[in-house]
Structure 1
Amino acid sequence: MEFLQNLASSLKNARTVELPYDDRSAFYMLMTMVVANQHKSVLDLLQNSLFDVNYACGRAQRNLLHIAANCGSYECLSLLLKKGATVNARDVSGCTPLHLAARNGKRKCLNKLLEHDADINIRNNEGLTTIHWLAVNGRTELLHDLLLYVNDVDIEDSQGQTAIHVACQNGHNSIVVCLLDNGSDINRSNHFGSTPLHFACSHGQRDTAFILLNRGAKFLPDKKGRTPLDVTVEGGYGETCALLLSSLPRLFDSLIQMTQKENIKEKMLYRVLSHLCQHQSKETADRILIGLAEQAFSIGQKLFSVSSSLESEVQCLLRCINFLCKLYQQVYTTKTKSKSHNLVPLNGTSAANLKANKIFMPLEVLWKLLGDWLNLLEEEFNNISTKQAGEGPQMQGEGTKVKPAEVGESVEVSKGQDDEGASEENVNEDSCTENTEEEEGEGEGETSLTEDPNQSEEEVPEEGSESKEVVTENDSSTPTLNIKALPVRNEDIITATVPRICAVIQAFYQCCTCLTPKPLTPPTFIDFVSRHNKVLKSLVARNPKVIFDHFHFLLECPELMSQFLHIIKAQPFEARQEWFYENLHPEDYNNDMFDSPTSQESLVIDRQRVFDSSCEMLHKINSGKLKKNISVKFEGEKGMGLGVVREWFDVLSKEILNPDYALFTQSTDGCTFQPNSNSSINPDHLNYFRFAGHILGLALYHRQLLNIYFTRSFYKHILGIPVNYKDVSSIDPDYAKNLQWLLDHEINNLGLNLTFSVQTDVFGMLQEIELKPGGSKQTVNDSNKHEYVQLVTELRMTKAIQPQINSFLQGFHEYIPQSLVQMFNEYELELMLSGLPTIDLLDWKENTVYSTYNKDSQVIQWFWDVLEEISVPERIMLLQFVTGSSRVPYGGFANLNGVGSTQKFSVNHMAYSPGCLPTASTCINLMRLPDYPTMEELKDRLLVAIHCGSQGYGVA
């Protein structure tokens, strides 16, 4: 009878009427009903069951009461409590049903649990209580209910954080007000000393910070000394920073001083300052700009003391100047740009110029000091040169000069007794803003060295040396120089001050550029370099590294670069190459962007027509995008990544030389190529030359090597170096010998009857071409034969292919500016483009790393023996098989390119199976080499792999 009743009930309710005896199965059956809040069904099943309602199951170890509270199943929750469910049961994370109801905003469930004495002070594994959960999620209504049961509104979590801390962090303003109204401590600090104001500011919660400040929050530092202003700037929150400054004006100086804090990211600080300049009043913007100028002046003064930290002070000065110039242009240039193409004028009395004078005035004294230093150093250089030449004794009355061995320890800059600062009449002519004309010599005192009367006992020099001081007398309102010349091992005062002075010069250039219409070079700075040309070259000669550290202005000023280019070219190739790429790549350049398989801008190349399809693809994509990211995929092949990019460059460089395109012809040495003077046979030849320039420029930009070598004369054309008669030998060795003979012998009486003209074949007809105007009437003789040789060389080597060169350079310069590439010679450019021409097996072996294998493993020894045996072309094929490139970069195998940096050639272990082949991952220069049982099989399988797989990519 009972069976029939149960059967009928089950059929009517479309479910079972009994729970399984297994608790786990019963739990999951009930859980689905609890989630749906089917409380009647749950009641029916629990009535005659022995199931324990506190049974916990699953990965979270939650019981049915947890489930009901989490889902807001109020009726089921009430039923379970009646059935004896433990109200404070905890799951695996330490959460109670009350925590879950609070977190998810289940108000009715929360109140029911509170009625059953749920403990509001229980912490989960992270230390969060119920009130913390409400504050985190902004459950204001539930908070009002909970506060009826709360004794301590500031109960802490495991890190000492109260509910108001987390509410401020998440910007739940109503929660913050409610907590404060109920006695929460507005200045309560956590275990790290952070107050609610710290939490609001560190997450950019401007409105929350406003509430706190209005309710009396104190501006306190945490245990690391970080204030709410610090954390605001660290997050780049401009609006919150503006609020702090308006509430606490005294913080303005602290904000400006943050330019000296290395732990604050430059990007974030600039974002804050930019917001303040753009969205606050003009007075605020001016105050920030003037504050930055004053800060830069202060840092610049410190730089002139060799006792200060060089690296940190230089970074602070340049960062401060960078902020000043960028913000000034943002505030004033952009607003006047529509009215005039010019920026702020350097002369005159316009409102804009007066504003520039006001903002940059604090730096005028620094520029004056810079000029004084350079004048002083020029005098010292002259004195040293005189002594080295052994000319004459010292002049009386001028003091004892500093010898190279007499080294200065500190350079102090102090103001005179008059503390009013420099007036316009005292501004140095080196200033980048308008100055009042001074009488010649005004403000220039005599420079001399006198004994330091305040020398302490610790500063007494060694016996036989003299303590000296350099004093430059100036107007009382202008800082003076005080150089204590004390012995310092291995460097003199000049050497110690070179990088400091050059850093200030860089700052001066940035300010001048800021106030000069683009693309003009600042005339004030040009004049400055001209006046101090001799001493600047002397400084650079003593410490050439300063060119790469501080003389970036040379790259923007062709007229200045020409004066220093010979010094730059004299520096080590590695240093110049590093400087080249530092200035070539933007700050956000990322070398890891080669292998972006998801890129929408991938170059999809047809391997059967690599040249044409590549030309088409590059024509469609902006060069700016290719600078940031280059991704290549061959049609019908799965492989992508850096290895494919390398192979594309390698294959394409060969196609550029394909005779079918008639772009380049082989020189007489059989190894190098130069532009074909008859390339016009191809009607699209100039577009193809531009494309070739794109490829070489793109490869150099991304440090990819090309399998191509050009004649020395063509590299010279790229570099802007004039060709000479020796370059003719690459296309006509016999003619080059004749030119050499002409130069080596007297020709006046030989009756050669040469004039400054030549006959050339133009479409089958001889035509006379004058080398210069009236050249056909001017005879070549011993006095002008060098000019003749140069002109005829330029005709053969340059003018004959000028359109081709121009088109090529047009494409090349889209990626590589002439100002950068000109610092190399033709041999160095070849190395950067094509790498080393040979493969050094010893270098290869010394720069190979192993995984599982080691250098003594039998298969590894066989591998190197095989490389000794195979031919050079086969070694190149192996190199391409593993790296994707057939070339070795300058510096050898130690400098193989990887993803984002160098990556050595790697050999990893691979399990052996009969007939298996080595595989490779070209992106990371990795070869997987099976553990072959014999050297013969290793050689056979390796040759099969490189002959069949050196080009074309699947997925290894």
Structure 2
Amino acid sequence: MSPKRLEPVGNYYVVPGFDFHTFKTIVTTAIQMLYERDSRRKFLPTDHWHMTSYFDMTQFVPAVVSEEQRQQDLRHAGTADQDEDVDMEEDSEEDIDDHSYSVSSRMFARSSRYAVMERLRRQKQKSYRERLLATIGPKLEILRNMAYILPFEARVRIFREFVHLDKLRRRNGFSDPDAWRANIMNLHGGWGESSPARSIIARHNAQIRRDSIFESAMNQFWELGEGLKEPIQITFIDDFGNEEAGIDGGGVTKEFLTCALMQVLSPDEEMFESNSGHAIYPNPTKFDQTRVSLRAKSIAEGSAEWDEQMASLMKRYEFIGRMIGKCLYEGILIDFVFAGFFLLKWTLSATDTVYRANLNDLREMDEELYQGMLLLKNYSGDVADFSTDFTVEDRVSRKGDRVLTETRNLIPNGDKIPVTNENRLLYISYVARHRLMVQPHLVTKAFLRGLGTIVDPVWLRMFNQNELQRLVGGDSLEIDVDDLRRNTIYGGLYVLGDDREEHPTIKLFWDVVQSLPDVDRRLLLKYVTSTPRAPLLGFAQLYPKFSIRDAGSDETRLPSTSTCVNLLKLPQYSTEEALKNKLLYAIRSNARFDLS
């Protein structure tokens, strides 16, 4: 029998039985699954996935950015049409509901047929729009379906360019915060009492209490929504209720974001859990814990107060997502490590691909549970001896409180279905699904909604979970001292003169840093910038810039820092030995401001 020929369908050649879109989805999904498996546990050679020899990278990156801009213009042009479609859909559904009680079945059938025809029309229109977008963005299609064929650094550059375009679009062409504010005043009649400009800019300003940074931020910035992408201005309020001095040239904003996240992600808050490797993920039992707490206070389930408390918890997770999205958007590195299975959900939030729970991810979440499932899987005797059924015990009380659990069915009537040798693999898959998907569903959904408000999820699709961690927290490669030195600025007596000659203390400083092992270089970087990792595209991308300023001539003093502006305050040491001893003492003790 001769092989079947490819048959044309419309403008596409497909395998018989599959249109082009379906065939493409099957192939790209299968390759994506292989890539994700390789990114979790390497089994292919380094650079196996790259196809840089097929692309001129100097042309590819700007071409992709240009295509993204054209597609965004087309999307904005079609927004009105899409809104109209939504209204039509809502109207037709309301008509069906009204008629179903008052007209004959014949009229109802006619209304239903109309609704179906409208739905098909919208689907056809959406399909056409997607094909049109693909037509004007062929390189973007490669990036969105097979981004891994490009080197990581190239994708980071593309990501930063996408963010820059979005900033220009949202800020009327002004990426600089001060220029944006000036433009708002020009557009809205200056800075008078009744000027709309005053109201717009005021919504982007906040007074943040040091003792409750995250709560202050959520209370004042929640209503901004997507507006959090725009420049914000922070004034800190100290413990005595006084405004702290400081001009926000980016440094105060950085300190605000990192401190707020440190506060809300701390173990005491129990908003996030950590695994044995100290990687964090949203606490999957947080809603259960809140329910137990509300019942203990005799708050009735379904009451206004109950609903308000649960909605507030959802808002907190959503706002955490926005804050992390703001850090990504502004290129601010944060010193948190997220669990790989959680990061994988970030990458899938923009697609129709559903996160698939698996035993390897369960191991990353709960090593003890994983070992139990592995024992069950490999048990050579009769599994029925364990007297296990298709249920799971969920702890619903907070840590430190009396242990409370609830038994939940993994499948309908699971408490009546015993686990046997024949169905144990199904049981294991349901346990993994419950722990990784069902139990954390609400908190994960809220977080991803917040993250997607600030950073387009499609952009995150360019990275696997390991690469996303680098995007959030910086590069774990060895610190490049020469690159750091080239991108350092100086203040006070250390400012370079016309001859560009460095101050003797600065020369000693770089000699010492060059001689340090990488672990100490990382401690230095964390001491000054609050993160031990370098920006992905080098220290030229660090914002604010790494800075060194003189701190007087008293050589008994230790170096100190202002991490909000990435500033090292370095006394004028006269010998290399003195400088090295003082610097190492400061960075290893992690003393920071108390040594000033």
Cα pair 1:603 1:614 within 8 Å, conserved:
yes
1:632 is the counterpart of 2:234 = yes
Shift, 1:775, TM fit: 3.6
Cα pair 2:558 2:582 within 8 Å, conserved:
yes
Query: What is the match of residue 652 of structure 1?
Result: 260
Query: What is the match of residue 273 of structure 2?
Result: 665
Shift, 1:337, TM fit: 6.3
CA distance in 2, matches of 1:839, 1:327: 43
Query: What is the match of residue 154 of structure 2?
Result: 575
Change (3 A) 1:604 1:877: farther
Shift, 1:765, TM fit: 6.7
Q: Deviations over 1:501-528 (max 9, x none)?
A: xxxxxxxxxxxxxxx9889753346689
CA distance in 2, matches of 1:949, 1:837: 23
CA distance in 2, matches of 1:674, 1:937: 45
1:879 is the counterpart of 2:483 = no
Query: What is the match of residue 450 of structure 2?
Result: 811
CA distance in 2, matches of 1:648, 1:925: 14
Q: Equivalent residue of 1:819, what SS?
A: helix
Amino acid at match of 1:632: I
Q: Equivalent residue of 2:439, what SS?
A: helix
1:692 is the counterpart of 2:323 = no
Query: What is the match of residue 505 of structure 2?
Result: 859
Change (3 A) 1:867 1:318: closer
1:701 is the counterpart of 2:334 = no
CA distance in 2, matches of 1:702, 1:519: 36
Aligned with residue 724 of structure 1, among 336, 349, 358: 358
Q: Equivalent residue of 2:369, what SS?
A: helix
Query: What is the match of residue 835 of structure 1?
Result: 474
Query: What is the match of residue 339 of structure 2?
Result: 711
Aligned with residue 616 of structure 1, among 194, 199, 219: 219
Q: Equivalent residue of 1:603, what SS?
A: strand
Shift, 1:627, TM fit: 0.8
Change (3 A) 1:521 1:628: farther
Query: What is the match of residue 592 of structure 1?
Result: 176
CA distance in 2, matches of 1:774, 1:941: 67
CA distance in 2, matches of 1:731, 1:340: 43
Count matched residues.
434
Question: Superposition RMSD on alpha carbons, in Å?
Answer: 5.2
Change (3 A) 1:594 1:924: farther
CA distance in 2, matches of 1:323, 1:872: 43
CA distance in 2, matches of 1:596, 1:917: 40
Amino acid at match of 1:820: W
Change (3 A) 1:855 1:341: farther
Cα pair 1:706 1:887 within 8 Å, conserved:
no
Q: Equivalent residue of 1:611, what SS?
A: helix
CA distance in 1, matches of 2:484, 2:458: 38
Shift, 1:641, TM fit: 1.7
Shift, 1:824, TM fit: 2.3
1:888 is the counterpart of 2:533 = yes
Change (3 A) 1:749 1:658: closer
- Name the one with the larger helix percent: 2
Cα pair 1:912 1:930 within 8 Å, conserved:
yes
Shift, 1:792, TM fit: 0.4
Aligned-residue sequence identity (percent) comes to 21
Asked which structure has the greater CA Rg, the reply is 1
Cα pair 2:265 2:271 within 8 Å, conserved:
yes
Shift, 1:879, TM fit: 3.3
Higher RCO structure, 1 or 2 (CA under 8 Å, sep 6+): 2
CA distance in 1, matches of 2:123, 2:179: 36
Query: What is the match of residue 198 of structure 2?
Result: none
CA distance in 2, matches of 1:338, 1:771: 39
Query: What is the match of residue 375 of structure 2?
Result: 741
Q: Equivalent residue of 1:798, what SS?
A: helix
Change (3 A) 1:741 1:924: same
Q: Deviations over 1:791-833 (max 9, x none)?
A: 1012123322222222222322211233332332221221111
- Name stretches of at least 5 consecutive residues in structure 2 with no aligned partner: 1-58, 90-119, 183-200, 238-242, 295-308, 349-354, 398-402, 490-495
Cα pair 1:728 1:796 within 8 Å, conserved:
yes
Change (3 A) 1:576 1:778: farther
CA distance in 1, matches of 2:283, 2:375: 27
CA distance in 2, matches of 1:941, 1:791: 56
- Name stretches of at least 5 consecutive residues in structure 1 with no aligned partner: 1-309, 343-515, 530-535, 537-545, 555-560
CA distance in 2, matches of 1:580, 1:595: 23
Amino acid at match of 1:888: R
Shift, 1:785, TM fit: 3.7
Cα pair 2:229 2:329 within 8 Å, conserved:
yes
CA distance in 1, matches of 2:283, 2:86: 48
CA distance in 2, matches of 1:676, 1:778: 26
Query: What is the match of residue 437 of structure 2?
Result: 798
Cα pair 2:275 2:364 within 8 Å, conserved:
yes
Change (3 A) 1:698 1:520: farther
| Structure 1 segment 355-434 matched on structure 2, within 5 A | none
CA distance in 2, matches of 1:597, 1:913: 41
Amino acid at match of 2:426: E
CA distance in 2, matches of 1:644, 1:769: 47
Calculate the TM-score normalised by the size of structure 1: 0.38
CA distance in 2, matches of 1:339, 1:912: 66
CA distance in 1, matches of 2:181, 2:70: 40
Q: Equivalent residue of 1:814, what SS?
A: helix
Cα pair 1:843 1:893 within 8 Å, conserved:
no
Change (3 A) 1:855 1:892: farther
Q: Deviations over 1:391-436 (max 9, x none)?
A: xxxxxxxxxxxxxxxxxxxxxxxxxxxxxxxxxxxxxxxxxxxxxx
Q: Equivalent residue of 2:335, what SS?
A: coil
Amino acid at match of 1:727: D
Cα pair 1:642 1:922 within 8 Å, conserved:
no
Amino acid at match of 2:333: L
CA distance in 1, matches of 2:365, 2:153: 32
